[in-house]
Amino acid sequence: NAGVTQTPKFQVLKTGQSMTLQCAQDMNHEYMSWYRQDPGMGLRLIHYSVGAGITDQGEVPNGYNVSRSTTEDFPLRLLSAAPSQTSVYFCASGDRINQPQHFGDGTRLSIL
């Protein structure tokens, strides 16, 4: 009964480092998305995918890359970490955009 699995749960990076946040879902959902959550700003969409091989930008895509080679996985890459990217990152999946989105437990990322 895994649902949406995000790894790691916590990460500390130095400015300029790169890393990949992993997201996997076992519900055969076509739609997957990445959000960041900052105090007082709610959830902001970074990138999303409507199926394997198809990705698009959300509200705050700069500094992040995504790919969707399989239905199950949707990794988020930070190319060169900056302190402004300190946040909690959530991955979500759903059958379609207008269907309920299921969230992972988040990755708490700090960039020094």
Partner 1 sequence: GQQLNQSPQSMFIQEGEDVSMNCTSSSIFNTWLWYKQDPGEGPVLLIALYKAGELTSNGRLTAQFGITRKDSFLNISASIPSDVGIYFCAGRIYAGNNRKLIWGLGTSLAVNP
Q: How many residues bind partner 1 (CB under 8 A)?
A: 26
Q: Max alpha carbon distance in the chain (Å)?
A: 38
For residue 111 the two structure tokens come to 């960039």
Q: What are 1's two structure tokens?
A: 């009964």
Q: Is 70 helix (H, G, I), strand (E, B) or coil?
A: coil
Q: Which of residues 67-106 bind partner 1 (CB under 8 A)?
A: 90, 92, 97-106
Nearer to partner 1, 15 or 96 (CB): 96
Q: Does 42 bind partner 1 (CB under 8 A)?
A: yes
Residue 6 has phi, psi (to 5 degrees) of: -115, 135
Instruction: Determine if 18 is a binding residue for partner 1 (CB under 8 A).
Output: no
| Nearer CB in complex with partner 1: 72/105 | 105
Residue with tokens 């700003």: 41
CB closer to partner 1 out of 3 and 83:
3
Q: Is there a contact between 10 and 2 (Cβ–Cβ < 8 Å)?
A: no
| Site residues, partner 1 (CB under 8 A) | 4, 31, 33, 40-45, 48, 50, 56, 58-59, 90, 92, 97-106
